[in-house]
Structure 1
């Protein structure tokens, strides 16, 4: 993949706080970030999302000034800062491991940036008090980091970055070291503070659920390349390619080839059987012709499942056997073997009793406008 996916979407008429133009970072023979063009709007939360080693943290570190681009340009509020040192950039940084000064109290940690700016002590004291209240740490100003929980330490790190009122707040996997309950609490804190302060955020994570929850827009990366930029809804419902579809949420891919193309596309599946799909579900209809190899993406919640009664199979239906199922409270996950394919089906648990058991023969069906048809990688 070339990496030449750009952020051309007009989110609104807000100004760009961050602009990355053809940004590239090479470490000897490794291209960590490849020709990325991206913008972040004023007041927006943009998430850089992808697996480990995809280039998201390197991109964030270049924005912060901790890494220098090999090629390309970084602009903050319109100014080229590509070679500007970190302390001269109008950014705040929240690290995964907090990076607090262990020998300083909570108040001194939060005040550190203001002191470096030469802010008068009287103003520092009042602003630190305001920030402590904002991050719900009032009364803890005299404690040291070792005396705090992980969630409290992350709040101190967040307050230290916010108190200098940066143009953009950069967050590198800030919740990775917290347990599940604390992660959920801190997500809500980030959203609350974002709403109160209207601060622009660039947020790095590998956690899809986290990104879907907090983002105004997401930028999905792998192997240094930018695959897609869009709102959580756009990326989940209309992924650009198989990587994005597979990485965001759960998905089943069924390979096939197009045998008829019109308002309805007919696709012969490799596993056997023929399905019909609406033209609106074709990712690239102008490029998807009769004879084209395709991959049909199904989200597990888009299937309907029921016990097979032996009746004739209709359009967009196929049968299989339940290999395993998992009860998750409000949802039951079924894994169904249909031919050579293993298909995931999620069904809402509306009753206490399960109607389908492991080993049952089932009928799976779907509506013609629910799958997404992507060109095969081999094309």
Structure 2
């Protein structure tokens, strides 16, 4: 590992450009930057979901998604480093915006008297021809980890090398923080376009970890009416909102396609939509946009059963979707299977030339008035 002044400067400049132009931040491009500037050529990025399920890994050769024969499957349940990384991340509520170095040496995690026989050590010897590792943890619940390896003959990572890794971590973490802020600003803009098209007046936008990312004045007034004036401080801060879990929880497992829920709280109707940002590594970041209307203020639609070209059954499914019922609830109401409802919805979307429940709402309202 080399850590020269010029390499440090070049890496900083490359990261500054990468955080603005990258479609996906943790990628082979990042590995190439590290190799070129610091001669780090034994490394890998592993991706997990926020519940610690393995998704994929990437090295300089490219991406390898999880599948039955993936090498990491044989070690995942026995990986002591990952267990410590995940446990610490949950305890510390790790997010995208952490910039404090989180480094884990394998020799600090695994006891010396067990090290040579540990399954993790045997695994990195087999697949990476290495005996020692250092792992950096990033993102929600540490769902991204970068691991660097070192051969047995070169010895364990020194204190000086760990200091260099701390500095590299800071470069990466600050660039990732800026990348996520830039990306989330674009996501909020996209969601606002949906809200503007819907004609709704009061809205808020959240991530899946109980942070309010945007809220307009009308929504703030509705929430103050329900929760009191103190809610304003929560909306303006960067912390977790204690009342969001109640609002976002559905009380049942959300099935594919159940992308809109309706909650009635006091005299207000909350329509909760999900917005998923998917990545090639199988990570999915989920956001929510929530519109609020007072009871009785929302335009009432009198269904005329003339929603051509839909069949009578498809019209009934469309009506229940408009009322906010999930696929599972519609199946129970019509006494059919979940998959039958899903097939009806696919037919409805195809016949109406639409692609979402929101577009179905607008299509129904345009036909009924």
Structure with higher RCO (Cα < 8 A, 6+ apart) = 1
Q: TM-score, normalised by structure 1?
A: 0.28
Q: TM-score, normalised by structure 2?
A: 0.28
Larger helix percent: 2
Larger strand percent: 1
